[in-house]
């Protein structure tokens, strides 16, 4: 049966990919996007999409959220709105507490108030593997790994995860949480590692590499992530958390070498041109060394796994950003 959903942060990177995917898969549904349209948003990504209403506004505005839930009869919320950039959380943490903690709290309060006595209501909270802290050379984050957030960003996401958990246990709210690894793909803001590197390489400008470049991240193609979110929303169990990962660990330096070769190939340059632009810069304060996810639970219980080969996804990502650059 067709429904109207609320997607918060739907003008951001993952949110806009999710809106596109949802429209493609379930065209009868309607989507309300609530987004503050911060620097990170690109509302033009939603241009021309039928059945999508963009409401500019703050998730901290509980009255606005309640009115949207009531007016549109919304029973399912996908919550992606956040301040998401670790570097910005180091220089200006206040916005992270406001949006990620107080904003999530306002959404939960709105859902609790409006959904009383209604069946079929569900809140999907999208979070990060960064809440688990940093790994050494071995080991994987599991759903029962203790929380040890190290940055203001990850601490604010951890706080929001705890609020979701508390609303499930205290008020019986039907909520599920996903913690995922680093996403890559089209529509990401150029401040993030992969889009930044592609645009700098294309322009022949230095590409900053933090520290020794040996920090490890597990990369997940955004379309795979969005498929996982839909699966968890539809079939996850109330109160559960699911780790979504790509099983795809890369040291930053190795990733940048691969990316440099893909950019050179795409631009018809000789290989090595972009690699020469890599420039080591002082490390990020408190930079977590390694993240990696054990995604066996969501695979065993819900049948989701990341499907995109890294070189394929990265190649599509390079093509998308170079196309937008006009390079």
Ligand X SMILES: NC(=O)c1ccc[n+]([C@@H]2O[C@H](COP(=O)([O-])OP(=O)(O)OC[C@H]3O[C@@H](n4cnc5c(N)ncnc54)[C@H](O)[C@@H]3O)[C@@H](O)[C@H]2O)c1
As annotated, the active-site residues are: 129-130, 153
Q: Which is nearer to ligand X, 124 or 168 (CB)?
A: 124
Three-state SS at 144: coil
Asked if 252 and 308 touch (Cβ cutoff 8 Å), the reply is no
Considering only CA atoms, which of 247, 295, 286 is closest in space to residue 145? Answer: 295
∠ CA 114-115-120, nearest 5°, is 150
Closest CB to ligand X: residue number: 12
Question: How far is residue 264's CA from residue 311's CA, in Å, rounded to a whole number?
Answer: 14
Q: What is the CA radius of gyration of the chain?
A: 19
**Mask for 79-98, x = binds ligand X (CB under 6 A):** -xxxxx--------------
Of 11-19, 168-176, 276-284, 289-297, which segment contacts ligand X by CB under 6 A? 11-19
Q: Give the separation between CA 228 and CA 303, rounded to whole angstroms.
A: 9
Kindly state the DSSP code that residue 221 receives in the 8-state scheme: E
Task: Tell me the C-alpha distance between 145 and 148, whole Å.
Answer: 9
According to the binding rule CB under 6 A, does residue 108 interact with ligand X?
no
Contact 11, 42 (CB under 8 A): yes
Supply the minimum distance, in Å, between the C-beta of residue 270 and ligand X. Answer: 32
Q: Which residues ranging from 193 to 222 are in contact with ligand X (CB under 6 A)?
A: none
Residue from the set 41, 78, 198, 295 that interacts with ligand X by CB under 6 A: 41
Binding positions for ligand X, 241-260, rule CB under 6 A: none
Binding residues with ligand X: total (CB under 6 A): 31
β pairing state of 182-184 and 216-221: parallel
Binding-site member from 5, 6, 15, 45 for ligand X (CB under 6 A): 15
Say whether residue 131 binds ligand X (CB under 6 A). Answer: no
Nearest approach in angstroms of CB 103 to ligand X is 5
Stretch 278-297 residues interacting with ligand X (CB under 6 A) = none
Q: Which residues pair with 278 in a beta bridge?
A: 207
Which one-letter DSSP state was computed for residue 48?
Answer: T
Closest distance of CB 243 from ligand X, Å:
11
Q: Which residues bind ligand X (CB under 6 A)?
A: 8-9, 11-15, 34-38, 40-41, 58-60, 80-84, 99, 103, 126, 128, 157, 180, 182-183, 189
């Amino acid at each position: 049966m067709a429904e109207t959903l609320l997607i918060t942060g739907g003008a951001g990177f993952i949110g806009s990919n999710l809106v596109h995917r949802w429209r493609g898969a379930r065209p009868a549904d309607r989507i309300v996007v609530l987004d503050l349209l911060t620097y990170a948003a690109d509302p033009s990504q939603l241009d021309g999409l039928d059945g999508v209403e963009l409401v500019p506004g703050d998730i901290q505005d509980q009255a606005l959220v309640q009115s949207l839930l009531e007016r549109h009869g919304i029973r399912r919320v996908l919550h992606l709105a956040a301040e998401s950039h670790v570097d910005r959380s180091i220089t200006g943490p206040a916005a992270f507490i406001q949006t990620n903690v107080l904003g999530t709290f306002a959404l939960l309060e709105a859902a609790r108030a409006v959904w009383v006595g209604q069946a079929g209501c569900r809140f999907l909270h999208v979070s990060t593997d960064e809440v688990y802290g940093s790994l050494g050379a071995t080991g994987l984050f599991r759903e029962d790994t203790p929380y040890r957030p190290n940055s203001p960003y990850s601490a604010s996401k951890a706080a929001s995860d705890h609020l979701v958990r508390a609303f499930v246990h205290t008020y019986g709210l039907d909520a599920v949480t996903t913690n995922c690894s680093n996403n890559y793909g089209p529509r990401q803001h150029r401040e993030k590692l992969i889009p930044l590197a592609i645009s700098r390489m294309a322009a022949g400008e230095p590409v900053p590499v933090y520290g020794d470049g040996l920090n490890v991240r597990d990369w997940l193609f955004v379309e795979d992530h969005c498929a996982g979110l839909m699966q968890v929303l539809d079939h996850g169990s109330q109160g559960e958390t699911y780790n979504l990962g790509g099983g795809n660990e890369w040291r930053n330096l190795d990733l940048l070498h691969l990316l440099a070769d893909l950019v050179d190939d795409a631009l018809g340059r000789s290989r090595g041109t972009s690699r020469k632009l890599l420039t080591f810069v002082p490390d990020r304060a408190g930079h977590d060394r390694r993240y990696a996810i054990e995604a066996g639970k969501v695979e065993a219980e819900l049948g989701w796994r990341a499907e995109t080969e890294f070189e394929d996804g990265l190649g599509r990502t390079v093509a998308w950003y170079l196309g937008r650059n006009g390079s």
